[in-house]
């Protein structure tokens, strides 16, 4: 007896302890007729997940949701009433209850208003007497029979995992229950503070060979590629630290995708982001106390649904990104060359290709497999039978193994055009594409295609290299001999350009469709306008197809040329390629519209830096000196190195564009020619240029030569060194423009005063003074006194003694407060034949 009392005492104490622990630990279940008030939460048994009421971001609505309890940067992983928010945030009688019929309901206004319900039919509930709602350790919120203690059971009456929101948690299934027709798909939040269903979705598309497809509205954005037993065909190589394992199940009962954590202590989820239009895998990094993006889809332009059209292969980071499969050629070369890939490619010799006669298969590796809408599969067929099966039907275009594990197994067959091909280096799956056997060697290699056949490659290259070496040696010996004999090899130099001409005959400048340009520039909207140049407005645009940024110059109706001549001129100009010239990408001619398409320079033009109090600080002395020399090099190329001999005629800071590294690129070169303001075309009476930059002989007499460009360069030089505009600013002591001011300071020996204030001491005085002196030399009144651009560059970069400048030429002054604008004065005097001869346009 004496022994029992302590035992009873112990039992009572332990019971008490148990009771208290029950009270202190949070609950994970709601039983029938119980409720969860706003302010209280459920916590899963292991403390991972928490369910309760929340208000997202700046919203005033309240929702019931689930989040990771111990992660400070809260992410809502599931929302019960995403499309039925609790609007009245003042009501303090909001609650989640389990009603007497076993449904979970959200009620407000003292049980008056039903906001949300699980809507299970009472019929399915009545079979069990009592139910509970429980938040499981994996984040699944379920309704189940009271006596069901299984966490993974399929016998839930209802489960949150069947109604995913924007997040796929580990162990959650994405896909179909074929028995009930339930399709579990992810749907993004509308916004970061609005959980209601957006239009960005991720779902399995049921086909004989299913894929998971990202959609925006009804537009497919990305497809995973078919599952190949190891992963999805379009997925990149498995990352080194694999924290999740993915699984794809396809059988008669269900088709789904799921993933599980390799180590349950990690937190990693996949969710949809409507704003980015991306699916992201994010992982919680405790050390950073933040989420980190591990994977993002789409990854690149090639992840688009059908980036290159039929039989086109998309190669990320390649330019252009699309190529035809080996053995195929663009269906419309013209569209293809303007980066319109929609029509894709066709078999070479498609017209004469006769199905069933002489058919073979080309082997393609490292490809994301084609879209599977018209595919057929058999899990047990051998590859040989698969091939025969494909040969039987003329609309079968390709086959491959279904499963790549081991030696590969099963058969997958594609009917109709193959679309959505992308080069993915990690894919270890060969695709066999039907083509004429004559273009395929016995190994399945397409001529000019795969390089698996090393012996063949060696057999061809070795003799080729030897022959090339011989040719080089013979040529070298020959040249030396001629030099020794003292023969200047002039004839060669003269012939060279002509030969080149013939080579370049087939050079095709891309011609853009007007509609492409309209799409790219949003119909020339004012928001896209970058500025107004001498020959018309310039717009920024983004090509819809490859998202390339372009600048479009819409030439005002000034061009007097015919379309043909215009085309020829543009082609010639597009051949002018130099580091310091803006690249001409193409042109667009349609009806009255004539446009030039340039590469887009994100840093805009020099004037936006030079004359802006804040921006000018970004241009330190070394950058400015680099810009000066770059412009000089570009001009040298235009004036004498290119085959065209271009006089720019409108050199000024707004025509100097800057690339990402602040390298200068001259724009608008050759435009005067293109637009027909040029004595070759006989239109001799228009002076194109900008007051304040024009040489006196040009402004007054309409005489232009490379020396008038040198004059403009001189002004540019002074502006860059001083950071001041030639005009627009007044120099009270001089009643002059910048040139007059600089000249006065020079005469007084005070040139240092001209140098930009914002440099402080961080510039090289001798270099800056040299620039000023060279600038003044360029500005001398008589064209013959001015150096040419080659001398200018030499003077800038060498420590030679410079000549003393004479008084600068008269610079045209505009009275009043006129804006810097291009003037097209009508000047009747005739123009001298100063222009260096222009190449005839054939
Ligand atoms: C309810 O919403 C109003 C704005 O509609 C807001 O001012 C107020 O702070 C909110 N109250 C609570 C308790 O969230
Ligand atoms: C809200 O709660 C306060 C006290 O907390 C109570 O006085 C008030 O009656 C409640 N309002 C409603 C609508 O239940
Ligand atoms: C609302 O319903 C819950 C659960 O049925 C009950 O506990 C609560 O008293 C009810 N409240 C009112 C105001 O009727
Ligand atoms: C439940 O059914 C009601 C009425 O049919 C409907 O308005 C509501 O949206 C349904 N709720 C859910 C979560 O499906
Ligand atoms: C739960 O109870 C019901 C009826 O009360 C019974 O049919 C069922 O077998 C029980 N389930 C378990 C897992 O004990
Ligand atoms: C989507 O991504 C943006 C940018 O990273 C982020 O600001 C936003 O919160 C994300 N949206 C959601 C719903 O997580
Ligand atoms: C998916 O399962 C269905 C039904 O079992 C089968 O017909 C089909 O071939 C399977 N597809 C793949 C790709 O395994
Ligand atoms: C998971 O991580 C924990 C913490 O680092 C470690 O103790 C455990 O061994 C890991 N489990 C597995 C299966 O790797
Ligand atoms: C996964 O968890 C383990 C243990 O907590 C940790 O050491 C590791 O860094 C985690 N991995 C990632 C990718 O977060
Ligand atoms: C493939 O073969 C296995 C074993 O022979 C068989 O059980 C299975 O049903 C076959 N599958 C198909 C799709 O024919
Ligand atoms: C070839 O396959 C297509 C697509 O499955 C089918 O519509 C067509 O009837 C087949 N043709 C022959 C001759 O079997
Ligand atoms: C691309 O070419 C197709 C076929 O010619 C045409 O329908 C489509 O409008 C073009 N797309 C663009 C953006 O120019």
- Residue 771 and residue 736 share a domain: yes
Instruction: Identify whether 18 is part of a domain.
Output: no
Backbone angles phi, psi at 516, to 5 degrees: -60, -45
* Pocket lining for ligand 12, CB < 6 angstroms: 335, 340, 342-343, 513, 515-516, 519, 544-545
**pLDDT for position 202:** 97
- Residue 127 and residue 28 share a domain: yes
Q: From the CA of 215, how far away is ligand 6's center (Å)? A: 18
- Residue 588 and residue 614 share a domain: no
Ligand 10 atom with least separation from CA of 380: 1
Q: From the CA of 435, how far away is ligand 4's center (Å)? A: 55
pTM for the whole thing? 0.59
The two three-digit tokens of residue 212, written as one number: 């998971």
DSSP state, residue 805? P
Residue 791 C-beta-side C-alpha neighbours within 13 Å: 15
**pLDDT for position 733:** 56
Give first-to-last CA distance, the chain, whole Å. 123
Where does a domain end: 552, 570, 600? 600
Checking DSSP bridges between strand 312-314 and strand 421-423, what pairing results, if any? parallel
Instruction: Identify whether 14 is part of a domain.
Output: no
| Full DSSP string of 307-367 | TT-TTEEE-TT-SSSEEEPTTEEESSHHHHHTT--TT-EEETTTTT--TTSSEEEEEE-SE
Question: Domain count of the chain?
Answer: 6
Pocket test for ligand 5, best of 132, 147, 151, 154 (most atoms within 8 A of CB): 147
Residues whose CB falls within 8 Å of the CB of residue 791, separated by 6 or more in sequence, listed in order: none
- Residue 246 and residue 198 share a domain: yes
* Ligand 9 pocket residue status of 243, Cβ below 6 Å: yes
Instruction: Identify whether 15 is part of a domain.
Output: no
Geometric angle at alpha carbon 21, from 20 and 23, rounded to 5°:
65
Average pLDDT, the chain: 79
Q: How far apart are CA 369 and CA 199, in angstroms?
A: 27
Ligand 11 atom with least separation from CA of 376: 5
Instruction: Identify whether 12 is part of a domain.
Output: no
Q: From the CA of 112, how far away is ligand 2's center (Å)? A: 15
- Residue 183 and residue 100 share a domain: no
Q: 3-class secondary structure for 628-640?
A: HHHHHHHHHHHHH
H/E stretch holding 242 reads: none
H/E stretch holding 246 reads: strand 244-250
Q: How many CB atoms lie within 10 A of CB 239?
A: 11
Q: Of all protein residues, whose CA lies closest to atom 8 belonging to ligand 7?
A: 208
- Residue 706 and residue 752 share a domain: yes
Where does a domain end: 163, 192, 212? 163
Instruction: Identify whether 428 is part of a domain.
Output: yes
- Residue 415 and residue 357 share a domain: yes
Crossing angle, helix 738-748 and helix 706-722, to 10 degrees?
70
Instruction: Identify whether 8 is part of a domain.
Output: no
Ligand nearest to the CA of 150: 5
Q: Of all protein residues, whose CA lies closest to atom 4 belonging to ligand 2?
A: 92
3-state secondary structure of 751: helix
Instruction: Identify whether 4 is part of a domain.
Output: no
Q: Of all protein residues, whose CA lies closest to atom 4 belonging to ligand 1?
A: 60
Q: Of all protein residues, whose CA lies closest to atom 12 belonging to ligand 2?
A: 92
Q: From the CA of 251, how far away is ligand 7's center (Å)? A: 6
Q: From the CA of 162, how far away is ligand 6's center (Å)? A: 24
* Ligand 4 pocket residue status of 116, Cβ below 6 Å: yes
Q: How many CB atoms lie within 10 A of CB 93?
A: 14
- Residue 467 and residue 501 share a domain: no
Q: From the CA of 438, how far away is ligand 11's center (Å)? A: 25
Unique residue bearing structure tokens 């003044």: 776
Q: How far apart are CA 392 and CA 399, in angstroms?
A: 12
Say which of 166, 436, 650, 678 is annotated catalytic. Answer: 650
Q: Of all protein residues, whose CA lies closest to atom 4 belonging to ligand 8?
A: 265
Report the DSSP beta bridge partners of residue 345. Answer: 330
Which CATH number belongs to the domain containing residue 49 in this structure?
A: 2.90.10.10
**pLDDT for position 444:** 65
Which CATH number belongs to the domain containing residue 567 in this structure?
A: 3.30.200.20
Checking DSSP bridges between strand 194-205 and strand 186-191, what pairing results, if any? antiparallel
Residue 463 C-beta-side C-alpha neighbours within 13 Å: 5
Q: Which range marks the domain in which residue 384 is found? A: 304-448
Instruction: Identify whether 5 is part of a domain.
Output: no
The two three-digit tokens of residue 46, written as one number: 């292991």
- Residue 472 and residue 406 share a domain: no
**pLDDT for position 422:** 93
Q: From the CA of 541, how far away is ligand 12's center (Å)? A: 17
- Residue 637 and residue 661 share a domain: yes
Crossing angle, helix 706-722 and helix 789-797, to 10 degrees?
30
Ligand nearest to the CA of 60: 1
Where the chain has pLDDT below 70, the residues are 1-25, 89-92, 122-129, 150-154, 237-241, 427, 441-509, 533-534, 557-562, 564-565, 642-644, 672-673, 675-691, 728-736, 810-842
* Ligand 5 pocket residue status of 800, Cβ below 6 Å: no
Catalytic site residue 650? yes
DSSP state, residue 403? B
- Residue 248 and residue 386 share a domain: no
CB 635 within 8 A of CB 709: yes
Pocket test for ligand 10, best of 250, 377, 378, 380 (most atoms within 8 A of CB): 380
- Residue 523 and residue 405 share a domain: no
* Ligand 5 pocket residue status of 127, Cβ below 6 Å: no
Where does a domain end: 163, 178, 197? 163
Q: Of all protein residues, whose CA lies closest to atom 1 belonging to ligand 9?
A: 266
**pLDDT for position 815:** 35
User: Residue 640, class by beta-carbon neighbours within 10 Å (0-12 exposed, 13-18 middle, 19+ buried)?
Assistant: middle
């Amino acid at each position: 007896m004496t022994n029992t009392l302590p035992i009873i005492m112990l039992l009572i104490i332990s019971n008490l302890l148990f009771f208290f622990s029950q009270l202190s630990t949070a609950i994970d279940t709601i039983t029938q007729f119980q409720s969860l008030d706003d302010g209280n939460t459920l916590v899963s048994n292991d403390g991972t997940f928490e369910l309760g009421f929340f208000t997202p971001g700046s919203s005033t609505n309240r929702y019931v949701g689930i989040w990771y309890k111990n992660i400070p940067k809260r992410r809502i992983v599931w929302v019960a009433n995403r499309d039925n928010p609790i609007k009245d945030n003042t009501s303090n009688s909001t609650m989640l209850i389990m009603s007497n019929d076993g449904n979970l309901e959200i009620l407000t206004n003292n049980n008056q208003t039903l906001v949300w319900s699980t809507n299970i039919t009472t019929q399915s509930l009545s079979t069990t007497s009592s139910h509970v709602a429980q938040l499981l350790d994996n984040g699944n919120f379920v309704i189940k029979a009271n006596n069901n203690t299984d966490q993974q059971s399929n016998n839930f009456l209802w489960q949150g995992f069947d109604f995913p929101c924007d997040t796929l948690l580990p162990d959650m299934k994405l896909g179909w229950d074929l028995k009930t027709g339930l399709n579990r798909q992810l749907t993004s939040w509308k916004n970061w503070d609005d959980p209601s269903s957006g239009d960005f979705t991720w779902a399995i598309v049921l086909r004989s060979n299913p894929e998971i497809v990202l959609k925006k509205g009804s537009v497919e954005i990305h497809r995973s590629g078919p599952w190949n037993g190891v992963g999805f065909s379009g997925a990149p190589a498995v990352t080194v630290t694999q924290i999740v394992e993915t699984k794809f199940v396809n059988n008669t009962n269900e088709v789904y995708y799921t993933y599980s954590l390799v180590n349950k202590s990690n937190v990693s989820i996949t969710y949809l982001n409507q704003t980015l239009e991306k699916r992201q895998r994010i992982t919680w990094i405790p050390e950073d106390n933040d989420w980190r993006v591990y994977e993002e889809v789409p990854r690149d332009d090639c992840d688009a649904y059908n980036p290159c059209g039929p039989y086109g292969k998309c190669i990320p980071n390649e330019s252009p990104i699309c190529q035809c499969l080996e053995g195929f050629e663009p269906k419309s070369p013209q569209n293809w060359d303007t980066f319109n890939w929609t029509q894709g490619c066709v078999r070479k010799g498609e017209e004469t290709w006769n199905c069933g006669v002489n058919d073979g298969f080309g082997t393609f590796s490292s490809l994301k497999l084609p879209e599977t809408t018209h595919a057929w599969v058999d899990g047990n067929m051998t590859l040989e039978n698969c091939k025969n099966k494909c040969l039987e039907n003329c609309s079968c275009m390709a086959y491959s193994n279904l499963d790549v594990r081991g030696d590969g197994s099963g058969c997958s067959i594609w009917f109709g055009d193959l679309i959505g091909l992308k080069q993915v280096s990690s894919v270890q799956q060969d695709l066999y594409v039907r083509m004429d056997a004559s273009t395929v060697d016995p190994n399945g290699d397409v001529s000019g295609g795969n390089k698996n056949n090393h012996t063949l490659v060696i057999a061809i290259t070795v003799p080729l290299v030897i022959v090339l070496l011989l040719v080089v040696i013979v040529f070298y010996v020959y040249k030396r001999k001629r030099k020794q004999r003292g023969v200047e090899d002039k004839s060669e130099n003269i012939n060279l350009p002509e030969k080149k001409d013939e080579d370049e005959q087939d050079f095709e400048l891309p011609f853009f469709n007007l509609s492409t340009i309209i799409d790219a520039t949003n119909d020339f909207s004012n928001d896209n306008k970058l500025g107004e140049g001498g020959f018309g407005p310039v717009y920024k645009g983004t090509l819809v197809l490859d998202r390339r940024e372009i600048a479009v110059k819409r030439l005002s109706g000034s061009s007097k040329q015919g379309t043909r001549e215009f085309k020829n001129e543009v082609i010639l100009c597009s051949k002018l390629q130099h580091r310091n010239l803006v690249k001409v990408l193409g042109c667009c001619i349609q009806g009255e519209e004539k446009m030039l398409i340039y590469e887009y320079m994100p840093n805009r033009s020099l004037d936006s830096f030079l004359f802006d109090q804040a921006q000018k600080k970004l241009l330190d002395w070394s950058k400015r000196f680099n810009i000066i020399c770059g412009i000089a090099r570009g001009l040298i190329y235009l004036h004498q190195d290119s085959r065209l001999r271009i006089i720019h005629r409108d050199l000024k800071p707004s025509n100097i564009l800057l690339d990402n590294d602040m390298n200068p690129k001259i724009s608008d070169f050759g435009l005067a020619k293109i637009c027909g303001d040029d004595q070759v075309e006989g239109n001799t009476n228009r002076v194109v240029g900008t007051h304040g930059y024009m040489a006196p002989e040009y402004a007054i007499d309409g005489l232009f030569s490379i020396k008038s460009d040198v004059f403009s360069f001189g002004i540019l030089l002074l502006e860059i060194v001083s950071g001041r505009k030639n005009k627009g600013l007044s120099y009270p002591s001089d009643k002059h423009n910048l040139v007059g001011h600089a000249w006065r300071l020079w005469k007084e020996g005070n040139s240092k005063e001209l140098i930009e204030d914002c440099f402080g001491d961080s510039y090289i005085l001798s270099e800056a003074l040299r620039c000023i002196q060279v600038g003044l030399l360029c500005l001398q009144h008589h064209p013959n006194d001015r150096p040419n651009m080659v001398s200018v560059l030499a003077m800038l970069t060498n420590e030679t003694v410079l000549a003393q400048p004479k008084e600068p030429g008269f610079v045209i002054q505009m009275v009043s407060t006129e804006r810097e604008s291009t003037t097209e004065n009508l000047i009747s005097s005739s123009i001298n034949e100063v222009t260096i001869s222009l190449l005839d346009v054939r």
